Each structure stands twice: as C-alpha cells, then as structure tokens.
Structure 1
Amino acid sequence: MSNPLTMKSFLTAFGLSAAAIAAQPAFALDQVTYGTNWLAQAEHGGFYQAVADGTYKKYGLDVKIVQGGPNAANRALLIAGKVDFYMGGQLGDMDARKEGIPLVSVASIFQKDPQVLMAHPDAGIDKFEDMTKLTTIFMGQEGFSTYFEWMKKHYPGFKEDQYKPYTFNPAPFIADKKSAQQGYLTSEPYEIEKQAGWKPKVFLLADAGFAPYSTMITAMQKTVDEKPDMVQRFVDASLEGWYNYLYGDNKAANDLIKKDNPEMTDGQIAFSIAKMKEYGILESGEAATKGIGCITDERYKKFFDEMVSIGVEPKDLDYKAAYTTKFVCKGVGMALKK
C-alpha cells in the first residue's frame, strides 16, 4: 500500500503546481509596436479599437501604438528596428525602395487617400476641373511635386502660377474667394466650417483619379520574411478592429485616442467617421467585396505607372518589392459589419 503521508505530500505538491500553472497566461503574448503617421485621431481608430476591446490579445499580441506627430520620426524608427510596423503610404514605400530601403506594405487600410482640395461654396466651383479658373491653390511642397503635377497632366488648365505654399493656416483661403486649399477630408473641412461659418466645396483627389493606397501597415522585409505568422495575426486583428470601430461600440477606442491626443474632440471624431463611411475611404473598390486592407497588383501598378508618367518614380523601379498581397483580400472581419 502507498504511504498515506507520502501520497498526501504528493497531492499537495501537485495541487500547488497546478495552481501555479493555472495562474500563468495560456501563452506569452508577442510584443508588437505600431507607429502611426500623426497624432491620435479617428483615422487611426481601428488600431485603437483592437487594443481597447482585446482583439489583439485574442490574436496573441500585446500591441503598443506609438503616436506620430510633428516631432515624431516613426518611419525612421521602423527602419532602425525600434517599431515593428508603421503607418506608411504607397508613395513613401516606393520612394523607400528607390532609396534602397527594404520596406514592404502588407495591408492598405485606406483604399482612398483622404487628400482633398477645397473651394468656396459660392465661387462657381462645381467640378474638380472648375478649379482651373481659380487664381490661387494653397498646397504643401509635397503635393505640388506629386498630385499637382498629375493634375496638370490630366486636367489641362492648372498652372504653376496658381501655387502658393500652404502654412497650415486656413485664414488666407477663407479670405480669398478665388482660392482653393489642400486638406484632409476628415479634418480641414470641419475646422473651416467652425472658423468661417460655411461649408467648403470638397473634392477628393482619389475620386478625381489620383488614387494611391494609404494608411498602410508597413514593415521591414526582414520582419515579413522571418515572422509571417505574427504579421498575419497583426493584420487580421487590425482588420477586425476596424470593422468593430466603424460598426460597433467604439467608445473605449475613442477614449484611448483622446488620452493620447487631449486636443481631439468628440465632434471631430464623429465628423471623421462619417466622412470615412460617406466617401468609401476604407470600403471601396476591391475592399468592398474582399475586406478592408485589400491590396491588388493591378491597382498598385496603375498608380505606379501614373507616377512614372509624371516623372515622380523611375520606370525601372522594382515597385513590386514595396508590397505584398499575401496577407489580405481574404474577407477577414467582414462578418462583424452590422
């Protein structure tokens, strides 16, 4: 027979071990960092949602969002290996490859870049091409060297002498009825209406034909090659986060956004979400049927060819190295849409 004392000691020891094991997580979460391209806002909402509602944890990830901003250098942190993913864009990714930097985008959250031009509501500007009649277009240097070059090619009548630098102050535009100003669909129109008391006419460049992928999930090639499972889980969890943010309870995510960016308001957040839905920023084109985040070879090549035609990118650029389609277009998260 077994010695009762020995058996009791064994069971006690086993019980303690079982309790200790039960107290541990089922598995260790992978630590992941995602650097955004600006201060926290609704345009980043799906990522904050996946943090707030536990979606990342469900996928075995402990995700930290590293907020961008005027003094942030999150793209440089990605290149240096300090963050795992960055909120890149198609132009930036192609430029990186041109410079020999091995960035690769694995998903495109925005099918339409929210870049817009705005005009006064009573200036007789009803179509995109009507802005050729204006004397001034306020825009940044980056826009002048990219989409304005594209505008001049596809809409004859736009001229370089219309250009004036945009200093992130809308006052000159508000004061000049014969001017237009660049902006972000989800931001500047809201601010101008608050300041001026009227709604500007808004023209989305993507709807006019200038259509890069934007708000992407971008990684280093090494990460994609060596950690494909982690990349897939981060992409899938982020896509679920976006569907939940757009169509579910997003209060906790918005609270996190306002914690990171105390100047953000509920009014601005609501405006941004409404505009993203209205204009199909996330859900249009292939993403409407294959899910948020979709990237296709045909669409990517079309924009690359446009940039070659205006001299922004070299014809011999290996643009295909700047993205991959293997992690997206699988309908992940679509069932969450209500």
Structure 2
Amino acid sequence: MNKIIGGLLVSALALSTTPAFAQDALTLQLKWVTQAQFAGYLVAESKGFYDEENLDVTVLAGGPNIAPEQVIAGGGADIIVTWMAAGMAARENGVPLVNIAQPFKRSGLMMICPTETEIKTVADFPGHTLGVWFFGNEYPFFAWMNKEGLATDGSEGGVTVLQQSFDIQPMIQGQADCISVMTYNEYGQALDAGYGPDNLTIFNYTEMGNDLLEDGLYVMEESLDDPAKVDAYTRFVRASMKGWAYAAENPEEAAQIVVDMDDTGAAMLDHQLYMAKEVAKLVDPTDPALDIATYERTVQALIDQSIIKEQPEGAYTTVVTDALK
C-alpha cells in the first residue's frame, strides 16, 4: 500500500512540474546576419518577452546566401523580416507573403559619393559607376533611377551598376564612384574610415522621397486562416515591439545582447552600439501598423519599374496590429 501511495505521490509531483500550457512555437527568419538591425527581436528573446507571451521563438540568422522568402516558402520559418520590394516580388512570383506589421517606418538607405568624384547632384550620375546591393536590395535603387529617367545598362547618358559587396570596400578601392550604405551600418564604417558630410555627397532615399518600406514582418497567407496562428502572431508582434522599446531606451544593453547572441563572433560591441542607436531612429516601438500611404507609394514605385506588374491583392493585413490597439 505504501508503494502505491508513494507512486501516486511521485506522479503527482511530476505532473506539478509540467507547464500548464505548452508554449506556441514560432520560427523567425532574419533578413541578414545577427546584428542590431534586428535588436528588437533579439532583445525580446533575451529578456524573456516572448516567454511572457507564452511563445517559444527560434530566431534564425540570415546571410548572403539566405533568402527569407525562400526559407518561409519551404516551411523553414513562420515569420520573416524582409524589405517590402522583395516581399512583393516574391508574392507575384508565387510565394503568397502577407505583411502583418511594419516596425521600420523610415528607410535607412543612402548612396554616398566621395567629393573627388565631383558628383553633387543626380544630374552628375551619367557616366559613373554606382554600387548596388542585390538579392532583393536593388529594387529601391532601380525605382529611383527609373524615376530620374536614367538607364542602368552602362549606355551613354546612363549609369553603370556594380553589384556591390556588403561593405564600403568598392568605394575605398575605387571600384565604384558611389556606393550604397545603410545609415545604421555601412555609413558608420565610412565614418570610421575618415569619410563624412565634409567629404561626401550623400543621397538619402527618405529625404529625396524615394524610400521604399524596409524591414517588415511577413507570413504566408494561408496561415492567417488559422485563428490560433493569428493569435500567436499578435503575441509575437506585441513582445517584439516591447523588445524594440527596450532596445531604444537601453542601447548599450541591446548592443551587448546582440554580441552575446551572435554565434559567429563577428559582431563587435562598438559597431553594434552605433547600429542600435541609429536603428532606433527608424523604428516606432509604439506603432507596428503599416502606413497605407507609404505602402501604396512603395507598390506604385515597384509597378513603375516593372518589378511587379500590378497592384497586389491581399498583400497586407491589419488583423494583427488592430488586435494590439
């Protein structure tokens, strides 16, 4: 009899240590490597904000050979971070992505030209070589050139496009007259190399009105038919925005979290701190909703450049961000 009681007691104790509710698992695929560009998500994971929302979130780092759109299409992620141009192009090509939230409100994209190139305005571009990232990052540039009426095939009166590495070396080595940079990343590298407003001509996409929406959160359309999944997405966005708010208020801690979570060891603390401060200028942690006017301008620019053929239907939803109000 004592053995039976003991057995029942052990069973009861075992049951008491089992969580009452299993966490909902979500996998997030980042657009690029582990860096402060994604500080909100990394902070939310590190500080337990996802746990507070009963979520078990796996964060996957990106890289030059990783296309988030392909990862989610293959079932390797539930949510991805990507630029809208890449997301809309993928949607038109058969990957039914839907924007559920837009933490980045402003673009961080710029083009910089050393003063010795004598490039001061867009009118000076013809005959020059411009560095551009590809893998879905090229769309804002081509939309800009289309708006300006500049050919990009190297023909007379147009520009030559260099597929640029993800650093400032093409400018340092003289391979390109102007290069693409992000305010929160490569521009910091340029500053470290001795460049700045005094010896650069800077073309800021946002200030020129040529910015297209960048880091947004996208899911597969069919997943939105599942109320449980939508609820999980809602909790994910709420926790993520809490992470973004914390990162903005505590950039030093956020930078250290990024460094600690980088398995490659490539993330340097001083640069991540610079990034965390600059990224905070682009994110509104109080409002993850997509701005429809900016969305429509982004889509129209993609149509004008023939990146997509027509206005997409169902490419965004407000169901998640509406639930947060």
What TM-score, normalized to structure 1?
A: 0.79
Cα separation, partners in 2 of 1:178 and 1:269, compared to 1, 3 Å: closer
> In structure 1, which of residues 310, 317, 326 is the aligned counterpart of residue 319 of structure 2?
326
> In structure 2, which of residues 183, 186, 196 is the aligned counterpart of residue 185 of structure 1?
183
Partner residue, 1:22: 16
Cα separation, partners in 2 of 1:14 and 1:145, compared to 1, 3 Å: closer
Partner residue, 1:225: 225
Cα separation, partners in 2 of 1:114 and 1:320, compared to 1, 3 Å: farther
Query: What is the correspondence of 1:60-75 to structure 2 with a 5 Å cutoff?
Result: 60-75=54-69
8 A Cα contact 1:39 1:69, kept in partner: yes
Partner residue, 1:151: 144
Cα separation, partners in 2 of 1:141 and 1:253, compared to 1, 3 Å: closer
SS of the equivalent of 1:321 reads coil
Separation of aligned partners in 1, 2:223 and 2:65: 26
8 A Cα contact 2:44 2:243, kept in partner: yes
Separation of aligned partners in 2, 1:221 and 1:99: 14
SS of the equivalent of 1:33 reads strand
SS of the equivalent of 1:31 reads strand
Separation of aligned partners in 2, 1:15 and 1:215: 52
5+ residue gaps, structure 2, are none
Q: Are 1:197 and 2:194 counterparts?
A: yes
Query: Identity over the aligned pairs, expressed in percent?
Result: 20
8 A Cα contact 2:259 2:269, kept in partner: no
Cα separation, partners in 2 of 1:131 and 1:245, compared to 1, 3 Å: farther
What TM-score, normalized to structure 2?
A: 0.82
1:67, CA displacement in angstroms?
Answer: 0.9
Partner residue, 2:277: 274
Partner residue, 2:306: 311
Q: Are 1:166 and 2:170 counterparts?
A: no
Partner residue, 1:241: 243
8 A Cα contact 1:186 1:276, kept in partner: yes
Separation of aligned partners in 2, 1:144 and 1:52: 29
Partner residue, 2:208: 208
Cα separation, partners in 2 of 1:133 and 1:165, compared to 1, 3 Å: closer
1:44, CA displacement in angstroms?
Answer: 0.8
Q: Are 1:253 and 2:257 counterparts?
A: yes
Separation of aligned partners in 2, 1:48 and 1:88: 16
SS of the equivalent of 1:68 reads coil
User: After superposition, what is the alpha-carbon deviation per residue over 1:261-316, rounded to whole angstroms, capped at 9, x for unaligned?
Assistant: 31110111111122223xx3113xxx7xxx3422033321122122222322213x
5+ residue gaps, structure 1, are 333-338
Cα separation, partners in 2 of 1:179 and 1:309, compared to 1, 3 Å: same
Separation of aligned partners in 2, 1:157 and 1:80: 37
Q: Answer with 1 or 2: which has the greater Rg.
A: 1
Partner residue, 2:39: 45
Cα separation, partners in 2 of 1:120 and 1:252, compared to 1, 3 Å: closer
8 A Cα contact 1:123 1:177, kept in partner: no
SS of the equivalent of 2:320 reads coil
Partner residue, 2:297: 302
SS of the equivalent of 1:189 reads helix
SS of the equivalent of 1:109 reads coil
Letter matched to residue 258 of structure 2? N
Root mean square deviation of aligned Cα: 3.2
